[in-house]
Amino acid sequence: MTNDDNARLVDFLEREGVLKTKRIIEAFTNVPRHMFVLEENMDNAYADYPLPLMKGATISQPSTVAFMLEYLNLQPGEKVLEIGTGSGWNAALMGYCIGKKGNVISLEIEKALAEFAERNISKTGVSNVTVLCKDGSGGYSEKAPYSRIVYTVAVDEVPVNVLEQLKIGGILLAPIGIDNVQVLTMMEKADKKRFKKKYLGYFQFVPMRSS
Ligand code: SAH
């Protein structure tokens, strides 16, 4: 894997119109995907499709990750909750986007993946991500409220207690649906009880598991 392979992917995502924002482009450039894939998939690290990890998890397709990051519109210093760490790639990209004053908390139910993600993230120099080995179905109220919450696992709904963990004015992204395809849904918290919803299209994520 060379820097050229990553540069080609970034260039492709920009030409496709998925990657737009300077800070996100810098994140993709500085947090290279090959650090987050299994050794046997190294040759395909920069292909625009998901790749298997362990325990049935996958590292998402780069264009999906870029698409979600553009809608998340992360700002420096924000506190972000991710549910479904997987490889840690998205968590590290978000950590890069929010800068040193920001903080990402990412929840992963599988110990092997939480440890894998921590090792991967530490290779990148991004140091503001905390991976917790935990069932994320109820969010993580201990560190709430968050200005952004992102699910990278499919859920049939977002529970009220997770919505409560979002700041007013904050954004939540979740792939919602129980079949093998989900509607990526964006919710902006207008006030304590009201959310502005936007449907961003159909995607496929691995389903949330419970402990
Ligand atoms: N964002 C990841 C991809 C996530 S794949 C990346 O960048 O690589 C979805 C992950 O969610 C899997 O690792 C799976 O083990 C995890 N997961 C499934 N159910 C979960 C739950 N209830 N709580 C936390 N993590 C869960």
Contact between 84 and 153 (Cβ < 8 Å): yes
Distance 11 CA to ligand 1 centre (A): 28
pLDDT at residue 120, rounded to an integer: 98
Whether pLDDT at 179 is above 90: no
Rg of the chain in Å (alpha carbons)? 16
Determine how many CB atoms are found less than 10 A away from the CB of residue 163.
17
Which runs of consecutive H residues, i.e. helices, occur in the chain? 3-15, 22-30, 62-72, 89-98, 111-124, 160-163
Whether pLDDT at 77 is above 90: yes
197 backbone dihedrals φ, ψ, rounded to 5°: -100, 145
pLDDT at residue 76, rounded to an integer: 97
Least confident of 1-5, 61-65, 121-125, 202-206: 1-5
pLDDT band at 36, cuts 50/70/90?
very high
Residue nearest to atom 16 of ligand 1 (CA): 84
Q: CA distances (Å), 158 to each of 63, 126, 167, 185, 189, in order?
A: 24, 29, 15, 10, 13
pLDDT at residue 199, rounded to an integer: 98
Instruction: Name every residue whose Cβ is closer than 8 Å to that of residue 99 and which is 6 or more positions away in sequence.
Output: 76, 77, 128
Q: CA distances (Å), 199 to each of 15, 158, 183, 188, 203, in order?
A: 24, 14, 7, 12, 11
In the chain, the percentage of residues whose pLDDT exceeds 70 is: 99
87 Cα nearest atom in ligand 1: 8
Distance 83 CA to ligand 1 centre (A): 6
Distance CA 78, CA 63 (A): 23
In the chain, the percentage of residues whose pLDDT exceeds 90 is: 95
Q: Model confidence over 103-158: pLDDT tens digits?
A: 999 999 999 999 999 999 999 999 999 999 999 999 999 999 999 999 999 999 99
Distance 139 CA to ligand 1 centre (A): 13
pLDDT at residue 4, rounded to an integer: 86
Structure-block tokens of residue 181: 């395809």
DSSP at 34: G
Q: What is the average pLDDT across 52-78?
A: 96
106 catalytic per annotation: no
Least confident of 11-15, 104-108, 177-181, 187-191: 177-181
**Mean pLDDT across the chain, nearest whole number?**
96
Q: Model confidence over 189-204: pLDDT tens digits?
A: 999 999 999 999 999 9
Distance 39 CA to ligand 1 centre (A): 20
Least confident of 2-16, 27-41, 113-127, 156-170: 2-16
| pTM for the structure as a whole | 0.97
What are the pocket residues of ligand 1 if the criterion is a CB atom closer than 6 Å to any ligand atom? 55, 57-60, 83-84, 86-87, 89-90, 107-110, 113, 135-137, 152-153, 206, 208-210
For a mutational test of ligand 1's pocket, the pick from 148, 151, 153, 204, i.e. the residue with the most ligand atoms closer than 8 A to its C-beta, is: 153
